[in-house]
Amino acid sequence: MAGVTEASAMQAAVSRRLWTREEYERMIDAGILDENDRAELVAGEIVVKVTQKSPHATGVGKGQDTLIAVLAPGFHLRVQLPLALDPDSEPEPDLAVVPGTRDDYGEEHPRSAALVIEVADSSLWFDRTQKAAIYARAGIQDYWILNVVDRVLEVYRDPAPDAASPVGVGYRLRLTFGPGERITPLAFPSVSIAVDDLLSGAPAV
């Protein structure tokens, strides 16, 4: 019991410095962080993204080609660009479909999106947990993970309070689509996307 008490005391004595989105953007303005750092702000923590391997880069490209071909009027696609979701998160999803034109965001980043897609290989756990949590908290209704490891599309919908989530909100609906299946984005009910158009090649190793 003493060991448990000592461990608890040590844990209580260690704290992490969390950052606000305003502080994070000031670091960018000051040149402390730049595009070469490949950083993003997730629930107050500055996360450095790993270098893209070929399956990840191919997944981003195929997703971009597929979405551009089916986008409804009044929306456009952002590729690996920031979303200013809330005071402590500014992620840079691989793909985000947002309302309006690019000129609408000349002064500030979008605060939401109709569809967010992350392409995941080594980042799969992080995208399923930390990223899913902040997207759910921000009210993103349609969050997809293009899982290039298992060659499936994971679909997360219906954000709701969730005690197990790192931020207290998660997705109640989680679906998996494989080769040969099709998916319809919530924001575009007349659109049907073949999962094969998003996937590529053999499973990653």
Domain boundaries, the chain: 51-197
Is the predicted pLDDT of residue 203 greater than 50, yes or no?
Answer: no
| pLDDT at site 188 | 95
pLDDT digits (tens, 9 = 90+) for 109-146: 999 999 999 999 988 999 999 999 999 999 999 999 99
Please report which confidence band the pLDDT of residue 6 belongs to, taking 50, 70 and 90 as the band edges.
Answer: low
Identity of residue 65? D
What CATH number does the domain located at 51-197 have?
3.90.1570.10
pLDDT at residue 204 in the model: 42
What H or E segment, with its residue span, contains residue 26? helix 21-29
Burial 21-37 (b: 16+ CB within 10 A, else e): beebbebbeeeebeeee
Q: How would you class 46 by CB atoms within 10 Å of its CB: exposed for 0-12, middle for 13-18, buried for 19 or more?
A: middle
Look at residue 14 in the predicted model and tell me its pLDDT: 61
pLDDT digits (tens, 9 = 90+) for 137-169: 999 999 999 999 999 999 999 999 999 998 999
CB within 8 Å of 131: residues ≥ 6 apart: 42, 91, 93, 118
Is the pTM here over 0.75, yes or no? yes
Average pLDDT over residues 33-60: 80
Residue 202 clears pLDDT 50, i.e. is over it: no
Residue 57: strand, helix, or coil: helix
- Which residues in 63-88 are b (16+ Cβ under 10 Å) and which e? bbebbeeebeeebbbbebbbbbbbeb
State the pLDDT at residue 57.
92
d(CA 154, CA 175): 6
